[in-house]
Structure 1
């Protein structure tokens, strides 16, 4: 992908006029060209490239770089990536049991990926994890319910409850359980904090721009796992006690196969182009 940049405005200028320019006068012209405003999507790409330059599994960028990328995402709008709520991606189809979610792929390398999920009303991205990853999510428009969890690391016993010999569940703490309305700031999750396991449910048609660093990779051991969440009261563990009024803040997450009813289809990104350099 690339952007065609207009290097100079030559309308009404003759060759001899250009030849008369001195080196002193040409420097401001070059500076003005270099300082030409960068498009939002180009700025996002360039910032991601710098922020995740030395990234890898479990490596969280320094706080100042986290804030740099967050500040770029916070001000991004649907039009910056060529989206409008009236597009077909966001329409419900009559008689469709599970609304199809469209994924617009912008970019991916071993360090990071950028993409947009387009959800019709009631569209759901099931509860899933982000192993060893730092993830930025920017709601571009609409209302979305986000529920997220982090693992309880100070588990009072060595192994979680075993429901059946082949099915294990693990205790998690609720990090977020709320509706988000655009415009709003980007949310961030980390490898062990910030709601690493989350579920998105579209209250209205909405679009969310996702930046993952690093992206999912089966060869690198970053597999996408899906979960069922069970109320805390469903299971018990010797030595584990949580006050009744706090139990809604915990849940048991059970690994599951990829849900059969999830429908995510890929589509070509047709928004403003950016230069991959």
Structure 2
């Protein structure tokens, strides 16, 4: 009887301890959710990026749940949340006849991800470039922007060539790409997402009006890690006649040939440090 009573007392204590632990965990989760609800949009974006990219790397795409989480948070960011207004000098140019310079506002970068804002005056262009091994989230904060993006063609039968070899040793080969997007986007609109191998990994931005786009890259560009920014020429599919490559006439505009090129000489990007409302915790 004494043994049974001791066992009963011990089980009672263990049950009480378990209930206390469960209550503590529940309170902790509620407090965490409460803090997240009270968190301002900028810090919320920063904390979400840390969570989403914590276990990713080059070529590793976040889980669908994490992608949707970051898409939702990024979708709620407004120009006011990052201290931007269309009247700022970033979005005008004193010399309309010249190629407008672009301002990049650097917010944050670590080995897992980077955050920054591109500010484009009317007619400003971010030339066609790639994002090797990266998942990229872009949010148009205001204005109208034309986006043209491509993915490499990898699903044709092996007997159909998708690379045109150059006859000159110093001239890069041409590679077949599929046009993913070719349209104007006007804020407010949903964030766009591109992936290491699809979703429009290579894209070009052209400002129809003054506009700003918030970019989150995971992981960021890194020359030592092989994530170089490469620029491209694009050529209509019909410009080349290649043995074995044929498309129905109605589909030809969906394909173009891309050829690597040096960074455009007229591309001017001025880097500024972010000084808007708090986003990154000290």
TM-score, reference length from structure 2: 0.84
Aligned residue number for residue 65 of structure 1: 66
Aligned residue number for residue 107 of structure 2: 106
8 A contact 1:137–1:187 mirrored in 2: yes
Aligned residue number for residue 136 of structure 1: 137
1:162 to 160, 163, 166: 166
2:271 equivalent to 1:266: yes
**Count of residue correspondences:** 249
8 A contact 1:157–1:239 mirrored in 2: yes
- How far is 1:55 from its partner? 1.2
In structure 2, distance between residues paired with 1:31 and 1:244: 57
2:253 equivalent to 1:245: no
Runs of 4+ in 1 over 2 A off after TM superposition: 30-36, 157-167, 274-277
Aligned residue number for residue 27 of structure 1: none
More displaced 10-residue stretch of structure 1: 266-275 or 197-206: 266-275
- How far is 1:167 from its partner? 2.3
8 A contact 1:116–1:207 mirrored in 2: yes
Q: CA RMSD in A?
A: 2.0
Structure 1 SS opposite 2:104: strand
Q: 1:31 to 1:220 in 2, by over 3 A?
A: closer
In structure 2, distance between residues paired with 1:129 and 1:78: 26
Q: Which digits, 9 at most, give the CA deviation of each residue in 1:13-41, with x for residues without a partner?
A: xxxxxxxxxxxxxxxxx999957711111
Structure 2 SS opposite 1:247: helix
Structure 2 SS opposite 1:49: helix
Q: Which runs of 5+ in 2 are unaligned?
A: 1-30
Aligned residue number for residue 25 of structure 2: none
Aligned residue number for residue 227 of structure 2: 222
- How far is 1:82 from its partner? 0.3
Q: 1:158 to 1:230 in 2, by over 3 A?
A: closer
Q: Which runs of 5+ in 1 are unaligned?
A: 1-29
2:178 to 161, 165, 173: 173
TM-score, reference length from structure 1: 0.85
Question: Structure 2 matches for 1:27-106, cutoff 5 A?
Answer: 34=35, 37-94=38-95, 97-106=98-107
Q: 1:247 to 1:78 in 2, by over 3 A?
A: same
Aligned residue number for residue 13 of structure 1: none
Structure 1 SS opposite 2:164: coil
- How far is 1:270 from its partner? 1.4
- How far is 1:93 from its partner? 1.3
2:155 equivalent to 1:150: no
Please identify the structure whose Cα radius of gyration is greater: 2
8 A contact 1:161–1:236 mirrored in 2: no
